[in-house]
């Protein structure tokens, strides 16, 4: 399992892209997608919603369980991935590409972001 070096990660298994014009993209990691099993439903935050770092902002339902989705940052949702709502399996098949979940305009820098190497150590996965 390879965690892209340019992303930042959380202990709750979300990833965060580099910030462009104040907006970052958020998804869940391959580790989380594999642990969940086949994702069959995604409830994502709506455009205009405000999210808070570490707080629940949606959920992913798989054939194994329902899992809360936590925001890795605080800010306002600018976009959500309609493709994932229509085809939740993208979370499993392309967690770092087409399976991204939402974009958020940051109100502050993330406090607890991990590097790819720190996340790999947390999950004991190869980078």
Q: What is the pLDDT of residue 1?
A: 57
11 vs 126, more confident: 11
For the whole model, what pTM was predicted?
0.92
In angstroms, rounded to a whole number, what is the distance separating the alpha carbons of residues 87 and 12? Answer: 23
Indicate the helix (H) or strand (E) that contains 104: strand 102-106
**Is residue 110's pLDDT more than 90?**
no
| Residues 102 and 81 sit within 8 Å (Cβ to Cβ) | yes
Which pLDDT tens digit goes with each residue over 38-67?
Answer: 999 999 999 999 999 999 999 999 998 999
Cβ neighbours of 1 (radius 10 Å): 12
Above 80 in pLDDT, residue 127? no
Residue 126 pLDDT > 60: no
């Amino acid at each position: 399992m390879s965690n892209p070096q340019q992303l930042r990660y959380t202990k709750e298994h979300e990833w965060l892209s580099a910030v462009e014009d104040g907006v970052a993209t958020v998804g869940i990691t391959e580790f989380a997608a594999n642990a969940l099993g086949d994702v069959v439903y995604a409830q994502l935050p709506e455009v205009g919603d405000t999210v808070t770092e570490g707080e629940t902002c949606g959920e992913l339902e798989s054939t194994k369980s329902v899992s809360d989705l936590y925001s890795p940052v605080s800010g306002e949702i600018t976009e959500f991935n309609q493709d994932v709502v229509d085809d939740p399996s993208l979370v499993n098949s392309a967690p770092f590409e087409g399976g991204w979940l939402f974009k958020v305009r940051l109100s502050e820098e993330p406090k607890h972001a991990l590097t790819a190497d720190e996340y790999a150590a947390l999950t004991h996965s190869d980078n």
